[in-house]
Amino acid sequence: MPLDRRKFLGRTAATSAGAALAAAAAAVPAEARGHGRPRRRYAFTVMGTTDLHGNVFNWDYFTDAEFDDTAHNDVGLAKISTLVDQVREEKGRRNTLLIDAGDTIQGTQLSYYYARVDPITGADGPVHPMAQAMNAIGYDAAALGNHEFNYGIPVLRKFEEQCDFPLLGANALDAKTLRPAFAPYWMTRLRTPCGRDVKVAVLGLTNPGIAIWDKVNVQGKMTFPGLEEQAAKWVPRLRSMGADVVIVSAHSGTSGTSSYGDQVPYVENAAALVAEKVAGIDAILVGHAHVEIPESRVVNKETGREVVLSEPLKWGQRLTLFDFELEWERGRWQVASVSAKVLDSRTAEEDPRIVELLGDEHKKVVGYVNQTIGTCSAAMTATEAPYKDVPILDFINHVQSETVKAALAGTEYAALPVLSQASCFSRTAAIPAGDVTIRQVAGLYPFENTLEARVLTGAQLKEYLEFSARYYVQTPAGGDVDPSKLTNADNTPDYNYDAVGGLTYEIDIAKAPGSRIAKLSFEGKPIDEKAQFVLAVNNYRASGGGNFPHVASAKQVWANSEEIRNTIIAWVQAEKSIEVSRFASVDWKLTRDGVPVF
């Protein structure tokens, strides 16, 4: 049974009140100020996570093994729970808060299972594992992330109902009334040994990109204005309501950039801009960007005060700690200092309480993903997919193009040639020769993208490919090429490099970006710039994700709401076998001055 957080908090308050007050009293120094009165001070800590993406355990459902990466990080709320307990023990439970910055219910097969296979929205549906874990750990509030909307609003609302803490989104508005569709903020009082409570407010902000990334789920229902605009509206209100400390939990990175171009008039990664432009904020828990920022300081232009920002690494790999020091001055609490740091999940064991709480759910999902659904004629791997045309990407493109062709049969677009785009989402993805399981196929496509069909011209496709080819580091002809240093130019992630199936072309990496595509052909002939093609494309790209040219404004001729991952799984289940020779071919390659690199 899930832990009743209210009873748990009651027991904790009763058993640890003395320790909490002792820890708080330790923050009051002995020195005096004027007339022999002791200086009134109080210290408290706000812990934060972000981009948990369905990770409860230190487990990779796509490899069916303990999670591991090149840095040997650990993941999951079970480890975060241990770190949280350690901080509460050190600081005193009543001197700590715990918040999150969004992207909670999407990302692992555990979270997928309870959204789609055994959905929490069913008549007697289960409680979402992330709600169970976060309730048991004792979260106080969480901002909405963009991936909260991937499964539709009904799933999100059910998850919200199951949480013992509020989901915050000051800039997630009802499309008709323009009023907040979720709680904008959460406010609490912290008791101090000075007889004066500290009033702490947490403002939640989410990402405007939801309007395009999850258009099918939110259009006409919700709208998402910019973070700066809504922070400027709500922070003064929170101060007028008596907030001594204002913390923003923002599902938005710090870079000031956007991946969706001009598709919406708001900045995607706006957390630093909020700190700089909106007065009255003390700290910002940053999310969305999947980078580790232990501490960053931004000077507010109006007040000249520093705002402290921190982003813990994704999936529960890190826990942020904001340490606040307050002084009582002129009849109210004033923030004297703020600092931030992160704790590493590798230093903690999994909390046995969380392991026991969700052990059955974990076993159920492990069994589900290890079902055999077909066979494969030859092994396929994504290891070289970022720089070679390999069968595993051809397979994705084959399934996508076949799906779109079938959908367009009998329509006015049936005669147009169908092409397809695919990215290397995971360099460790692999399909073995022989039996194939759900988890192996699902591992090709870890994101919840759906499939669309857009019409582009030959000329537009060339510009699309030129944009994609920015991914490669310019490398002069002659000399050896190190594949590990060839990709991700200008920090372009693997998922923002597209290989297009159905065309043949070369990418000359000796040339500057924008002039790399050569010998672009369709069916053995140079492509006709005016000819029309249907591109099978994921909804993230079609909505402007990655800011690729033309596709977002291109005519949509078909779309569905089924995840591409499930489309591929269903294809394997129907075909029973993956015959690699049906689709594998080398249609694109890297060159330098026309000479193949590999």
Q: How confident is the model at residue 216, as a pLDDT?
A: 83
pLDDT in tens, the chain (598 residues): 344 433 333 433 333 444 443 444 444 443 434 455 667 999 999 999 999 999 999 999 988 999 998 899 999 999 999 999 999 999 999 999 999 999 999 989 999 999 999 999 999 999 999 999 999 999 999 999 999 999 999 999 999 999 999 999 999 999 999 999 999 999 999 999 988 999 999 999 999 999 988 888 999 999 999 999 999 999 999 999 999 999 999 999 999 988 777 778 999 999 999 999 999 999 999 999 999 999 999 999 999 999 999 999 999 999 999 999 999 998 999 999 999 999 999 999 999 999 999 999 999 999 999 999 999 999 999 999 999 999 999 999 999 999 999 999 999 999 999 999 999 999 999 999 999 999 999 999 988 788 999 999 999 999 999 999 999 999 999 889 999 999 999 999 999 999 999 999 999 999 999 999 999 999 999 999 999 999 999 988 998 889 999 999 999 999 887 889 989 999 999 999 999 999 999 999 999 999 999 9
Segments in 36-188 forming alpha helices (H): 77-91, 109-112, 129-137, 153-162
Q: In what order do the strands lie in the sheet with 577-578?
A: 434-437, 372-376, 577-578
Residues whose CB is less than 8 angstroms from the CB of residue 3 and which lie 6 or more positions away in sequence, other chains included: 135, 136, 353, 357
Which SS3 state, helix, strand or coil, does residue 268 take? Answer: coil
Contact 550, 460 (CB under 8 A): yes
C-alpha to C-alpha distance for 416 and 260, rounded to whole angstroms:
28
Task: Please give the DSSP secondary-structure letter assigned to residue 264.
Answer: S
> Which one-letter DSSP state was computed for residue 118?
S
CA distance 293 to 342: 8
Q: What pLDDT score was predicted for residue 37?
A: 64
String of DSSP letters for 437-470:
EHHHHHTT--S--EEEEEEEEHHHHHHHHHHHGG
Amino acid at 404: V
Beta bridge partners of 32: 38
Residue ranges with strand state E in 312-402: 318-329, 332-344, 372-376, 380-381
542, amino acid identity: A
Q: Cα dist. 47→53, 141, 381 in Å?
A: 18, 11, 39
Nearest to 370 by CA among 162, 64, 116: 64
Q: Please report which helix (H) or strand (E) contains residue 38, including its range.
A: strand 37-38
Q: 460: which residues sit within 8 A by CB, 6+ positions away? A: 549, 550, 554
Residue-wise burial string across 350-376, b where 16 or more C-beta atoms lie within 10 A, e elsewhere = bbebbbebbeebbeebeebbeeebbbb
- How far apart (Å, rounded) are the C-alpha atoms in residues 128 and 52? 14
Give the separation between CA 298 and CA 272, rounded to whole angstroms.
7
Taking the C-alpha atoms of residue 334 and residue 175, their distance in angstroms, rounded to an integer, is 38
End-to-end Cα separation, the chain, in angstroms: 56
Can you tell me whether residue 303 is helix, strand or coil?
coil
Cα–Cα dist 197/71, whole Å = 43
At 36 the pLDDT is 52
User: How many Cβ atoms from other residues are within 10 Å of residue 596's Cβ?
Assistant: 10
pLDDT for 259: 78
pTM above 0.85, yes or no: no
